[in-house]
Amino acid sequence: MIEKYLPIIGENEMDSIFKIAERLRGISVLHVNSTKEGGGVAEILHKMVPLMKELGINVDWKIIRGDQEFFRVTKGIHNSLQTGNSYVPQGWKETYEKWQSINSSELPLDYDVMFIHDPQPLGLIDYRRKGKWIWRCHIDISSPESEVWGFLKERINKYDAMIISSPIFGRGDLSVPQFVIPPSIDPLSVKNQYISDTTVKRIVMKYDIDPERPFIVQISRFDYAKDPVGVIKAYKIVKNHVDVQLAYVGSPASDDPEGEEVYRKTLAEAGSDPDIHLLMLPPFSDLEINAFQRGGSVIMQKSVKEGFGLTVSEALWKAKPVIGGNTGGIPLQVIPGVTGYLVNSVEQAAHYSLYLLRKREVSEQLGKNGREHVKNNFLITRHLRDYLMVISYVLGFSGA
């Protein structure tokens, strides 16, 4: 399977992956996170785990358990880390620690290398039995709420390494080695492979989008951090100047209890406008997302907080410029005036949407630049190589 990437990445890149993997052949690795579907972490692991196996690494992937209260707590932790304000409910520490204990008794924690993804299973380090442990943080921790951060920091420092998505997330108050590894997309997946214009039109028409009229697209969960209400407000400004449609395409995530509440507020903002399409697609609707990103005239990712934003790389890979929120890992992908535009307000998002709708030649050039940028920086083969390097480091292999 990995050989299929050769025409995209070239022989030198492929050789480097095999050379690093050769030293790691036969070691055992376990990835642990909170959901099998919904969101970028699960999506990456669905691709990363088979590639690691193909390279001779004994890799598995396990999901932690939790009740509704646990996921309410971990969503509060997530929001507290990203915003700097406290969103955790009463008794949150006890709930968190209870489920770490439960999961520690149900999961095999005796692998050579443990990859623990995000805050939900972070506390499993307290039950470490053997091996090297890596905490993979996918969210913005640049200015966390102090109490929540203090609680987690004590555990993070027990790890052998920590991986963040952007240099701006680096923490000077930690003793653990920190590595910057941006997330990635799989160019060969159904979501990112080439599909014809005919297929694109057929799919978007199925959701009542008129392919002959321009439409703005944001692919995101219904999450406050993704600012779906702000997306609609920007669309309404644009609508006053040009005939345009909006498709906000989301999917549910089992570890996000706020999704329904955000969806209701977004629905209220949309009102009765027939050109606003709020779509809740089931998990693994990859072909549909591919079609919306290829068919969209303007791709938006108007996040107010963002760990990375894989949908940005997905759109850029399809040679579409992106209007992205100036936050988190988005500026790694959106280079203003080169691959898209960064925005800090509804008005800016509307301004650049209008500009791209009116300047087709500019949009096409930014799209070409964006595809090249993703090819060089945000494909899963680079991500795989980086993970192998960190594994080599924690295992003490010389030259890592």
**Residue 51 CB contacts under 8 Å (≥ 6 apart), including other chains:** 1, 2, 380, 384
Number of alpha carbons in the 13 Å side-chain half-sphere of residue 321? 27
Report the pLDDT value the prediction gives residue 59, as an integer from 0 to 100: 98
Q: Domain locations in the chain?
A: 2-184+379-394, 197-377
Q: Mean pLDDT per 10-residue run, the chain (400 residues)?
A: 94 96 96 88 94 97 96 95 94 98 97 98 96 96 96 98 96 97 96 97 98 96 94 98 97 71 92 96 92 97 94 98 96 98 98 97 98 97 97 82
pLDDT at 14: 96
Q: What tens digit of pLDDT does each residue of 45-92 get? A: 999 999 999 999 999 999 999 999 999 999 999 999 999 999 999 999
CB 293 within 8 A of CB 219: yes
Query: Sign (positive/negative) of CA torsion 235, 298, 186, 278?
Result: positive
Q: Which of 301, 296, 320 is nearest to 373 (CA)?
A: 320
- pLDDT at position 143: 95
Q: Is-contact 291 194, C-beta < 8 A? A: no
CA distances to 68, 230, 237 from 226, rounded to whole Å, are: 22, 9, 19
Using an 8 Å Cβ cutoff, are 192 and 318 in contact? Answer: yes
Nearest alpha-carbon partner for 28 in 125, 103, 117, 131: 131
pLDDT at 400 (0 to 100): 45
User: Residue 255's pLDDT is what?
Assistant: 61
CATH topology for the 2-184+379-394 domain: Rossmann fold (3.40.50)
Same-fold call for 2-184+379-394 versus 197-377:
yes
Predicted model pTM: 0.92
pLDDT for 254: 62
334-363 pLDDT tens trace: 999 999 999 999 999 999 999 999 999 999
Contacts of 344 (CB under 8 A, 6+ apart): 325, 326
Q: Domain spanning 197-377 has what CATH number?
A: 3.40.50.2000
Q: Scan for tokens 């053997």, then name that residue.
A: 130
pLDDT of residue 287: 97
